[in-house]
Structure 1
Amino acid sequence: MSYDKELTAARKAASLAASLCQDTGDLCKDSGKDTLQRITKLVNETIANDGSYGACTLSPEDVLRAIDSGRSEGGSFGRHWVLDPIDGTKGFVRGDQYAVALALLHNGKAVLGVLACPNLPLASIAGNAPSEYAVGCLFYAQVGSGTFMQSLDGSSPVKVHVSDIGNSEDASFFEPFEKAHSMQELTSAIARKLGVKAPPVRIDSQAKYGALSRGDGEMYFRFPRKGYREKIWDHAAGCIVVTEAGGVVIDAAGRPLDFSKGEHLDSDTGIIATNRKLMPSILKAVRESLEEKPSSC
């Protein structure tokens, strides 16, 4: 019996498990058996409610195979889909910002990106973190074609572009909501060097990339603490959404993000997204701030 359609449904319903553990290793342990049973129950409920996958019931082993079918190691050759089904898990749990992020890599370069941001309003959030959510936004970009945004209710798409502000004193910046995800003391020091007057806008997930691509703010800083390695699925979709909107996404050394090395970015210096006018002054401020940063950070 063919399980193709059923496994497609399993991937969809088991996406939360995949986002939490990336593979089935934890689910195969004795400590993960209860979680696997709950996921299997959810998968079969999804199949039954959808109605288009037939009457087949999947076993836990079928669900494990579905999750592990997405274990491509990526690399510099061929095409690889990069999916983060719930980017910004803590934001999702809080009912705040999160994103469904999908990117296509071709020979190690992002050529297509889609960001679904269910809690990001269609209107600009410039100057304030969002507090009232509308139906949400969808951003999508293809290399050489620009970036488009539309409401998740299916309204007509509009082409978006990053802000053209060139004076850092008039700029605002995004950073992760969670303190553990970025060194906020460092981003504050960078902002002071740039003369930024606006307070940071702290939101979860790659929704920041979407907001930046439409000009809600001019800069996004992410400087992980020592020992953390950035995952490609946390940035691939957002990167092309911003670059196709006329922006720049680089590491703190000024290099484009490299998605050709497998699951991790080949950089531990931090990530900056901005427009081309601000990039030189930002890099200068970043270098100076990193040199002044205490070694314990």
Structure 2
Amino acid sequence: MSYDKELAAAKKAASLAARLCQKVQKALLQSDVQSKNDRSPVTVADYGSQALVSYVLQQEFPSEFSLVAEEDSKDLRKDAAQELVERMTKLVNDSLASDGSYSVTLSTEDILKFIDSGKSEGGPEGRHWVLDPIDGTKGFLRGGQYAIALALLDRGKVVLGVLACPNLPLTSIRDQQSPNDEVGCLFFAEIGGGTYMQPLDGSSAVKVQVTAVENPEEASFFESYEALHSKHDLSSSIAEKLGIKAPPVRIDSQAKYGALSRGDGAIYMRLPREGYREKIWDHAAGCIVVTEAGGVVTDAAGNPLDFSRGKYLDLDTGIIVTNQKLMPLLFKAVRESLEEKASSL
């Protein structure tokens, strides 16, 4: 089955959202930052991105629409958020106007409803869009990496994914960066169709592949920027077992999946602390972007990720990503390190 129409809509929605986010990041104001219950900051761009993506997808697929997304409008309906909501409304309408495809002006209430249309629970039946409107909010706030991550589930399987990474260089992130480097990448993949990358400005796409490195000593690895999201000490132990000499590349968001899909690094380890439950929007798009580029994504027990169980990925310990040749070695090192850690407690 072809998902070409859905992929085109997803690319359009994510690109529009990326433009809005770029605009906000350039002029980040203190009043744009709120706090969530988990204390991670959320911004006007986060909500605006979700509203835009929801609007575009509902215009393209009005009869069959289900969205599993991170945000809701609860905090935006409080009096203290009025200024933020007004600014977000203007940003969303400006973004739609600049695109030229939609001659519409949305009211604040319209936008809040589009945000709230992301309340689906997902599951194994039917089709569900899965969105993280800004993955890597802390990276966004500090001017680092973030991604707009959008995927489509069909009967519980990820069938397409788009990662818009506004700050990711078009060349390898491992190269020496200069302020003049072009940034802004759009990665996209459809099941059975490979993975492609193009500049966010929409110019021509190129097919990408994960690295062919077979010797772990020559590999480099990605991990989360925030130690809260992954145990850096455990990653170091695993890297030592593999003989990896390069220091870890720590960046925020699913931009890591995009960078890995084009061969910037060979391994990504996400080993969160006990009690943390991974959410499907943090991995759905990135997972297919890597697997269609020839990579392998499993939990720490070697099981493929199961996106059919609702909003959460209930998995063993963490997530490991690499190419087919390195996966047996990585898996062995992960299991040994986890067993050593357990026996030392």
TM range (shorter): 0.7 to 0.9
What is the CA deviation profile of residues 8-66 of structure 1, one whole-angstrom value per residue up to 9, with x for unaligned ones? 9xx968761387962233444xxx33225521443146436755545x6624x444322
Q: State the AA in 2 paired with 1:247.
A: G
The answer on whether the counterparts of 1:160 and 1:214 sit within 8 Å (CA) in structure 2 is yes
Distance 1:295 1:64 in 2: 50
Counterpart position of 1:5: none
Distance 1:120 1:49 in 2: 21
Q: State the AA in 2 paired with 1:196.
A: I
CA gap of 1:121–1:291, structure 2 versus 1, over 3 A, is same
SS at match of 2:164: strand
Provide the aligned C-alpha RMSD in A. 2.5
SS at match of 1:238: helix
Q: State the AA in 2 paired with 1:168.
A: P
Query: 89, 92, 96: which is aligned to 1:43?
Result: 89
Distance 1:241 1:48 in 2: 30
Paired residues in the alignment total 282
The answer on whether the counterparts of 1:138 and 1:149 sit within 8 Å (CA) in structure 2 is yes
Counterpart position of 1:24: 73
Give unpaired runs (5+ residues) of structure 2: 1-12, 21-43, 51-68
Equivalent residues in 2 for 1:269-288, closer than 5 Å: 269-288=317-336
Calculate the TM-score normalised by the size of structure 2: 0.75
Distance 1:21 1:164 in 2: 35
Is 1:110 equivalent to 2:140 in the alignment? no
- What fraction of aligned residue pairs are identical, expressed as a percent? 62
Q: State the AA in 1 paired with 2:226.
A: E
Calculate the TM-score normalised by the size of structure 1: 0.87
Give unpaired runs (5+ residues) of structure 1: 1-7
What is the CA deviation profile of residues 52-84 of structure 1, one whole-angstrom value per residue up to 9, with x for unaligned ones? 545x6624x444322111111100111000111
SS at match of 2:273: coil
Q: State the AA in 2 paired with 1:176.
A: S
Query: 177, 198, 207: which is aligned to 1:150?
Result: 198
Equivalent residues in 2 for 1:135-146, closer than 5 Å: 135-146=183-194
Counterpart position of 1:243: 291
What is the CA deviation profile of residues 86-125 of structure 1, one whole-angstrom value per residue up to 9, with x for unaligned ones? 1110111111111111100111111000111111111112
Counterpart position of 2:55: none
Equivalent residues in 2 for 1:1-297, closer than 5 Å: 16-17=46-47, 22-28=71-77, 32-44=78-90, 46-47=92-93, 50-51=96-97, 53-54=103-104, 58-59=107-108, 61-126=109-174, 132=179, 133-293=181-341
CA gap of 1:120–1:282, structure 2 versus 1, over 3 A, is same
The answer on whether the counterparts of 2:220 and 2:265 sit within 8 Å (CA) in structure 1 is yes
